[in-house]
Structure 1
Amino acid sequence: MPKPTIRYLAQLFHPHPRPPMPSSKREQAQTDRRLVSALTHACETAKTEMPGFCWLTHEVDYAAFPASLQVVWVFDTLADKNTALARGLVERMIGLTVEALDDAQVSLSNAAAHVHVDCEEQCLRENGGDWQQRIKRKYARRS
């Protein structure tokens, strides 16, 4: 009678697991399409609910995703922005952002830290209307 073979499944313990490798360009493009679609829906909803709200955008460094993801909500004037903040609409912006991220299958531990409110007026005054420059300098995170 043959001896039974005993097999063991061994797992090594790694006290500091390696961070996940950055996703492929194809996966990044798919994620970005999902983000754009979901954030576009959030933007259209906000336009009907928030006076003076114009548009939103996002910035991300996929080498540090999702921690680097930043969503910027843009109002027309400083007065519109301040009114929205005074009315507590930032909570609604965070809520819409969380819904959009869920729809895009993106998970963040503290979405509020990734949501920013800005306005066209300040960008024009401080950055000559160059939103790309403003967002990179003011909001982009690399970790």
Structure 2
Amino acid sequence: MASSKRKYSGIERELIRALTHACETAKAEIVGFQWLTHEVDYQQFPQSLVVTWMFDSEAHKAQALASTDEARMRELTQAAFEEVGISVADIAAHVVFSVEQPARGKRGQGH
């Protein structure tokens, strides 16, 4: 079990690094994009891996999803996965888009 935990710890570190790069790239390219985060259950890896791309408003999210920005975010996610050696059949099943809610305390760790 310890070996498995160590393996996933390394994947997690590399995934965070790769997604941070994707995030910084998207901030420079996509209007209204704020940050991204990911969730994963390593007992069901990589099927459970989901990356959430967060926007500052519904309008900016809708604008991005109605343009080539949606494909770009999926492309950046796919590139991050590949950089870490994660293979998925359909990247769209691992990407969601949301809007940042007004702060009411601390939010989860983003990239």
Q: Compared with structure 1, are the counterparts of its residues 41 and 77 closer, same or farther at alpha carbon in structure 2 (3 Å cutoff)?
A: same
1:93-108 superposed matches below 5 A: 93-108=73-88
2:15 corresponds in structure 1 to: 35
Query: Structure 1 length as normaliser, TM-score?
Result: 0.69
Query: Following TM superposition, by how much is the alpha carbon of 1:89 offset from its aligned partner in structure 2, in angstroms?
Result: 1.4
Higher-Rg structure is 1
Query: Structure 2 length as normaliser, TM-score?
Result: 0.88
1:85 corresponds in structure 2 to: 65
Question: What's the CA shift string for 1:26-53, capped at 9, x where partnerless?
Answer: 0110000010000000000000100111
Which of the numbers 47, 51, 64 marks the counterpart of 2:27? Answer: 47
* Structure 2 gaps, min length 5: none
Which of the numbers 44, 50, 68 marks the counterpart of 2:48? Answer: 68
* Structure 1 gaps, min length 5: 1-20, 133-143
Q: Distance in 2 between matches of 1:129 and 1:94?
A: 30
Q: Distance in 2 between matches of 1:129 and 1:86?
A: 32
Q: How many percent of aligned residue pairs carry the same amino acid?
A: 50
Give the root-mean-square deviation of aligned CA atoms: 2.0
Query: Following TM superposition, by how much is the alpha carbon of 1:88 offset from its aligned partner in structure 2, in angstroms?
Result: 3.2
